[in-house]
Amino acid sequence: MKRRKIGIIGCGNISGIYFKNLINTFQNTEVVACADLVAERAEAKAEEFGVSACSVEELLQNPEIEIVVNLTTPQAHYEVCNDVLSAGKHVYVEKPLCLTREDGKKLLQKAKEKNLLIGSAPDTFLGAGIQTCRKLIDDGWIGEPVAATAFMTCHGHESWHPDPEFYYQVGGGPMFDMGPYYLTALVNLIGPVEKVSGFTNITFPTRTITSEKKYGKIVDVEVPTHIAGLLEFKNGAIGTIITSFDVWGAQLPRIEIYGSEGTISVPDPNTFGGPVHIMRKNHKEFSPIPLSHPYAENSRGLGVSDMVRALNTGKKNRANAELSYHVLDIMHGFHDSANTGRHILLESTCDKPEAMPDELL
């Protein structure tokens, strides 16, 4: 098994689990360097995980590094990914792929021209929970999928996140922050989407930070914080999704898939594990289903490991550029529909990702 050397750009809140898993969990990845605009953050992670801290430019010039993991904030995703590709390296980026369709198309074209791979979070759909659901669907347990619902409701992140401002700026909001988890899971389970429509609202025009670091700071809200969307999948199934930072409490399911022969209750797509439940026709209750696949724990970085597998075998990585661009297109479609009052026929599509094996990569 060939190990590939990795550099990480962006050493903020989410980076710790990536360092941990890419160093200790996966056998085909090796982190050798990290960088951050705040040098002290990179130095702290380097010391914690035994790698080298350097500048972004030095990391991109390091000939040993084949893959760069881009964990910067969404506003910087395009610029950093573009620089990585220009340096001749494969890139794996936190969600979303970038902020605009135009920038997404540029990245896909550049990667194609340079024969490089792009991967993008979320990779939670590769975990035990959603892959168990995928196997149930593929094996016909609920017949043909005919509909789906997905709900992500909370009251935002200003009560706990140390730097929550970007959640309410362009590129943030509940759809661009959390929508990728739910939409990627739906595309993995049902397939690509052809048409969307949406409604949006900004319920609270300002937010007051109550987390300790910036307690009392008032943030202007620039993006919709409640989005309701409808999806028409290529196979004819109809999906409903709500993402909201305006809800104080709810008892909604995360995701349910409704088939001609039954229903699957899908676990939180922001996690890798279960629980998974199914109710088949002529039954009156849901039954728990044991997880059929590995990676039930927090396995962020699994998409990077799968990218290494793709490089080593010549196969396609599952959390790939076309999938992440399709999800970006869907999210913009909801907002475009709300702004224009029309259905949006999507220009993009993608292949349904190959199912994961029921063994460790």
**Dist CA 122 CA 182 (whole Å):** 9
Q: Is there a cis peptide before residue 275, judged by omega within 30 degrees of 0?
A: yes
4-120: which CATH topology? Answer: Rossmann fold (3.40.50)
Joined together, the tokens standing for residue 82 give: 């573009």
| 153-181 core/surface letters (b: 16 or more CB in 10 A; e: else) | bbebbbeebeebbbbbbebbbbbbbbbbb
For domain 125-293+326-345, which CATH number applies: 3.40.50.300, 3.40.50.2300, 3.30.360.10, 3.40.470.10? 3.30.360.10
Say whether pTM exceeds 0.75.
Answer: yes
- SS3 (DSSP) at 165: helix
What digits encode the pLDDT tens for the residues 132-172? 999 999 999 999 999 999 999 999 999 999 889 989 998 89
The alpha-carbon radius of gyration of the chain (Å, integer) is 20
**Dist CA 353 CA 317 (whole Å):** 8
Domain ranges of the chain: 4-120, 125-293+326-345
Joined together, the tokens standing for residue 58 give: 């030095």
Note whether 68 and 15 are within 8 A (CB).
no
Note whether 80 and 70 are within 8 A (CB).
yes
What digits encode the pLDDT tens for the residues 263-321? 999 999 999 999 999 999 999 999 999 999 999 999 999 999 999 999 999 999 999 99
Per-residue pLDDT tens, the chain, 361 aa: give them. Answer: 789 999 999 999 899 999 999 999 999 999 999 999 999 999 999 999 999 999 999 999 999 999 999 999 899 999 999 999 999 999 999 999 999 999 999 999 999 999 999 999 999 999 999 999 999 999 999 999 999 999 999 999 999 998 899 899 988 999 999 999 999 999 999 999 999 999 999 999 999 999 999 999 999 999 999 999 999 999 999 999 999 999 999 999 999 999 999 999 999 999 999 999 999 999 999 999 999 999 999 999 999 999 999 999 999 999 999 999 999 999 999 999 999 999 999 999 999 999 999 888 7
